[in-house]
Chains A and B, each alone.
Chain A
Amino acid sequence: MPKRLPPQPGEWLDRNRTVAFRFEGKTYHGFVGDMLSSALWANDVRLLGRSFKYHRPRGVYSLSNHDVNLMVEDGRRTNLRGDVLPITPGLDVRAVNTVGGLKRDRLRIIDRFGAFLPVGFYYKAFHTPRRLFRFYENQMRKIAGLGKIEPSARWPASPKDYAFCDLLVVGAGPAGLAGAIAAAENGLHVLLVDEQQRPGGSLTWQWAGDAAARERLRELLERASMLDNLEMRCATQAGGWYADHWVALFNDRRLTKLRAGATLVATGCIEQPAVFYNNDLPGVMLASAAQRLMHIYAVKPCDRAVVLAANSDGYRLACDLYSAGVDVAAVVDLRREGDQTEMSRRVAEAGIAIHRGHAVYEAVANRGKTVVKATICPLNDDGSPRTDSTSAIDCDGIMMSVGWAPNSGLVSQAGGRFRYATHVEQFIPSELPPGVFAAGRLNGVFDLQDQIADGRRAGLAAAAFLGKIGGTIPEALVHRSSPPSHPYPIFTHPKKKNFVDLDEDLHLADFVNAHQEGYDNIELMKRYTTVGMGPSQGKLSNMNAVRILARLNGASIDATGSTTSRPFHQPVSLGHLAGRRFHPLRRTPMHEWHAQAGAEIIHAGDWFRPEYYRVDGRTRDDCIYEEAANVRRNVSLIDVGTLGKLHVMGPDAARFLEHIYTGRFENQKTGTLRYGLACDETGVIIEDGVVARLDDDCFYVTATSSGVAAFYREMQRWAIIFKMNVALVNATGQLAAMNIAGPKSREVIKDLTDVDLSPEQFGYLGVRRGTVAGARATLMRVGFVGELGYEIHVPASHGWHVWNVLIEAGRRYDIRPFGIEAQRLLRLEKGHFIVGHDTDALTTPFEADVAWAIGKNKDFFVGGRSLDIIRKKPLTRTLVGIVFPQAHRGPFPEECNLIIAAGEIAGRVTSIARRTTLGFPIGMAFVRPDLANPGTNIEIRVDDGNLVAAQVARLPFYDPGNGRQR
């Protein structure tokens, strides 16, 4: 590790534990605590990655969780950022986006053609000739993108968890720590998160050369550790702020859904690069990256440095470099007046040359494409470089300390607004939503003592917001010395390659071109140039892009604005977001029986239901047909426990049902059933079922399996609006239900129940309460499948028992279970429509041919007034039965196939069955009213485009006199 410094006071390394890892096939060593980037830099590896577009060589640049120069893949994971990837034994990674390895990347040739690849090049070049587009697209897809996804890689499911706190503090730098401590000391339960491995923020790098600052950090951490109600999570990022302080936290393992009472954002600033020729060469880096290398990872950034400064932070860096044994060749200060702080005095004392009013105009590369010289020149009054008097300084590192941009993503997502403040030359919050607080450098407060005071102020303000303390909160502090940021650290160069966005390889000229082409709005410019769309989401480029556009437009920064910040603020693995899926599933009490009986189980909404029961040697169609035939011939049993089951009780129950359904119920006799058809306010059918009157003020109502939840909800609302004295209970899950149907059904249950089953006592459309197989039961004589039958509702806890008893008792009669496919076939033979299957979102009772279900002389029902209007208008379609010849051969229509008449669409098939107990295929369809007369010949266009003949038929197909179900 040739570039490793001697132990540093605040370093995060465990020097007793060496780690061997592989990068691009070569083995290196680092210490526990190193990130991939720091370990490679310590080994004097300077070529870390290739850029997105031009495949230019890149090295350490920001080293603070948004350095996209080093992105690697390990065969399983991809696009891992080297600045936050800890080295571990066995780590074996390659750089992404190379062809033939990092050093010999064959695509590096693209760099030479940069002049021919201006922004917008793809849009303009690759759309003609059209026939070549496929070729272009294919080639483009090969070149574009970064890491390759390994489809065969398996990744363990990411867990998700939940957390709650009074105050979330994001950022454990001086302001965040002070804020968290102040809030916790005032009784708040505080969660403090920081994206770095250890707390301290800028105290761990920017101020780490200062013994007094290190002591401040130690004090803050000690106070924080003594507070039981202050929890700290490092290596944890706040990725997104959502309504009411719902914040997505994530680390390398999981997503945490946090609900906070308030949020204090102390995320600090992100250091911004200067824009000059070759400002992306390995060796050019941000001052903060150099300080992180030295203080956190004990790595020497370079041997001979040029510091480009526009603030006192640059002079602090020069001192740090000097202390670390780096030969500081010069400090180049963009400001003509230079710096007046203690730091600049120490730089001068160290004998370091200071060039005030100068800029680094170029970085000069050697054959190995790393920095060997900095070309500097004085600046004109307007800030432009005086290229007639350049001079060169030998160096292998150029450190940029020209300004900061607020790490403002969370505040923006929360609805905070920013304004550009010239006293700091950066955006600072101008308006914060209730419960959102900002502190520290994000707030434009830079002095270390001021940051701590500002954090404390924000922590107290949060405590006051949450009602923990009263009194007055200290005033916010204002930065007093010279601005920490330069208003325009951007320099043109005839050879371009002065990069504004390193993620996307955008240089200054790209912005000028975009502006000339009319993209003079920041959001448009972003989309045209793609600035800020790379992996770091513009953290190092958006601010400079705003500065460039403001200058091009001759407008202020505020008038130029900035782009919208959306979650996630940091890249997050898709696996974390996908996580595991939780979906509620419902089983009836008889589910296990079905499974053991060979049922093919399907999902029907939330429910598991038997589609049919498999029989060895039989096809699916055979099984369904035989199940249906057994209903017609003998007796069969179906589990209908998924039906909606509602109790409607109270003095207004009958009147309420008359309001909800189209029919009459006030005159319904106790012990009888009626068909219930419900419409919405527009007169569209939304539900149907049976309404059983159990007593004067007590009804039991069934509804469709999929519709009951919404129907019950609407019933509840109407009960409130109608102000009726009625109680509603959704007993769908409390009750099991089964339908025993077939000519022999009475025989099967007559000895199992205390209810008199004689047709005189318990006729068709009757309802009785009693016991079945010892269980309290409600029995209903329904005719849905067209045979004698009893629907038996029992408590869910008895469902399994009653089912088994019925099956046992039915053996003598060849009882069989049947599934929903057979039930659908049987009801189709009876011509019953299924709401939502044969009807759609516009179907009225007139169209569905159930106008008979609309009660006469009713005062009011939901949808009634609309039906009065619709009744006066001509019908546009009618639901009819259709039949096919018994000898039908060839393609057969499917549901939703269209009916064609004289080349026009004249309807649609809604239900169809090829094999029926009738011996010929049947279906139901919507047709134009002029085609609705029984006997009309129609044609259906099947999937292959052929027309199939059918005939409109009278419904029901089976047992038109309904004799069998009585």
Chain B
Amino acid sequence: MKLLDCPLIGPRPIQEFQSGGEVRDMPDPKLSSDDEWSNYVFNRRGEPAVKREWWYHVPSGTWFIAVRDNRTDQIVRTFLYGSE
């Protein structure tokens, strides 16, 4: 079972976490066209790459970002949103 580094309390088994999907920047709802908005809402990029993902540590209620290479399932680093 994989370990994941919670930025607050350190490495914990993956079963304590929930994935929140890839970090996606919301386009400005006022400026984006219907197509642009639909693309943001519905489409996900599934390509093999180093991804920035939302993860939630359930017991401590902590959202954070994990940089993960989904080709090797290696976690590059984790940090709190906005801290870098």
Contacts of B41 in A (CB 8 A): 681-682, 866
Cβ of B1 and Cβ of A869 under 8 Å apart? no
**9 pairs of A and B residues whose beta carbons are closest in the complex:** A865-B29, A243-B2, A246-B1, A244-B3, A720-B81, A869-B34, A717-B63, A681-B41, A682-B41
Closest to B3 in A: A244
> Which of B37, B61, B73 contacts A865 (CB under 8 A)?
B37
Closest to B61 in A: A716
> Which of B3, B13, B20, B37 contacts A717 (CB under 8 A)?
B20
B56 within 8 Å of A (CB atoms): yes
Contacts of A682 in B (CB 8 A): 41-42
What does the 1/0 interface line of B6-39 toward A look like (CB < 8 Å)?
Answer: 0000000110001010000010010010100110
Contacts of B48 in A (CB 8 A): none
> Which of A242, A713, A860 contacts B18 (CB under 8 A)?
A713
Once bound together, how far apart are the Cα atoms of A865 and B42, in whole Å?
13
Residues of A whose CB lies within 8 Å of any CB of B are 242-244, 246, 257, 259, 681-682, 713, 716-717, 720-721, 723, 730, 860, 864-866, 869
Give the bracket for the number of chain B residues in contact with chain A. Answer: 20 to 34
Contacts of B14 in A (CB 8 A): 243
Q: What are 13 A-to-B residue pairs whose CB atoms are below 8 Å? A: A243-B1, A244-B1, A244-B3, A246-B13, A257-B1, A681-B41, A682-B41, A713-B61, A720-B63, A720-B82, A866-B37, A866-B41, A869-B38
Contacts of A866 in B (CB 8 A): 37-38, 41
| Beyond known contacts A246-B2, A720-B63, A720-B82: 17 more, CB 8 A cutoff | A242-B1, A242-B2, A243-B1, A243-B2, A244-B1, A244-B2, A259-B13, A682-B41, A682-B42, A713-B56, A716-B61, A716-B63, A717-B56, A865-B29, A865-B37, A866-B41, A869-B38
Once bound together, how far apart are the Cα atoms of A717 and B56, in whole Å?
9
Closest to A248 in B: B1
Contacts of A242 in B (CB 8 A): 1-2
Once bound together, how far apart are the Cα atoms of A244 and B75, in whole Å?
11
Once bound together, how far apart are the Cα atoms of A713 and B29, in whole Å?
23
With contacts A243-B2, A244-B3, A869-B37 taken as known, whether A723 is within 8 angstroms of B63 at the C-beta atoms is: no
Contacts of B56 in A (CB 8 A): 713, 716-717
Once bound together, how far apart are the Cα atoms of A866 and B36, in whole Å?
11
Closest to A434 in B: B74
A-side binding surface: helix, strand, loop or mixed?
helix
Contacts of B13 in A (CB 8 A): 246, 259
Contacts of A246 in B (CB 8 A): 1-2, 13
Contacts of B37 in A (CB 8 A): 865-866, 869
CB distance from A525 to the nearest CB of B (A): 29
Interface residues of B in 59-81 (CB under 8 A from A): 61, 63, 73, 81
Residues of B whose CB lies within 8 Å of any CB of A are 1-3, 13-14, 18, 20, 26, 29, 32, 34, 37-38, 41-42, 54, 56, 61, 63, 73, 81-82
Cβ of B29 and Cβ of A860 under 8 Å apart? yes
Closest to A683 in B: B41
CB distance from B34 to the nearest CB of A (A): 5
Once bound together, how far apart are the Cα atoms of A179 and B54, in whole Å?
40
Once bound together, how far apart are the Cα atoms of A244 and B26, in whole Å?
34
Contacts of A716 in B (CB 8 A): 56, 61, 63
Contacts of B32 in A (CB 8 A): 865
Contacts of A860 in B (CB 8 A): 29
Once bound together, how far apart are the Cα atoms of A717 and B63, in whole Å?
6
Contacts of A681 in B (CB 8 A): 41
Once bound together, how far apart are the Cα atoms of A869 and B63, in whole Å?
30
Once bound together, how far apart are the Cα atoms of A716 and B54, in whole Å?
12
Contacts of B34 in A (CB 8 A): 869
Query: Which of B1, B3, B81 has most chain A Cβ within 10 Å?
Result: B1
CB distance from A168 to the nearest CB of B (A): 14
Once bound together, how far apart are the Cα atoms of A335 and B11, in whole Å?
55
Cβ of B81 and Cβ of A721 under 8 Å apart? yes
Once bound together, how far apart are the Cα atoms of A716 and B18, in whole Å?
13
Contacts of B54 in A (CB 8 A): 717
CB distance from A806 to the nearest CB of B (A): 33
Once bound together, how far apart are the Cα atoms of A246 and B1, in whole Å?
5
Cβ of A243 and Cβ of B29 under 8 Å apart? no
Once bound together, how far apart are the Cα atoms of A529 and B26, in whole Å?
53
Contacts of B3 in A (CB 8 A): 243-244
Once bound together, how far apart are the Cα atoms of A246 and B3, in whole Å?
9
Contacts of B63 in A (CB 8 A): 713, 716-717, 720
Once bound together, how far apart are the Cα atoms of A259 and B54, in whole Å?
25
CB distance from A160 to the nearest CB of B (A): 13
Once bound together, how far apart are the Cα atoms of A720 and B83, in whole Å?
11
Once bound together, how far apart are the Cα atoms of A913 and B2, in whole Å?
48
> Which of A713, A723, A864, A869 contacts B82 (CB under 8 A)?
A723
Contacts of A257 in B (CB 8 A): 1
Closest to B20 in A: A717
Once bound together, how far apart are the Cα atoms of A723 and B26, in whole Å?
14
Once bound together, how far apart are the Cα atoms of A243 and B1, in whole Å?
5
Contacts of B1 in A (CB 8 A): 242-244, 246, 257, 259
Once bound together, how far apart are the Cα atoms of A713 and B55, in whole Å?
11
Cβ of B81 and Cβ of A243 under 8 Å apart? no
Contacts of A864 in B (CB 8 A): 29
Query: Which of A713, A730, A864 has most chain B Cβ within 10 Å?
Result: A713
Once bound together, how far apart are the Cα atoms of A713 and B57, in whole Å?
10
Once bound together, how far apart are the Cα atoms of A259 and B2, in whole Å?
10
Contacts of B61 in A (CB 8 A): 713, 716, 730
Closest to A243 in B: B2
Contacts of B73 in A (CB 8 A): 243
Contacts of A865 in B (CB 8 A): 29, 32, 37
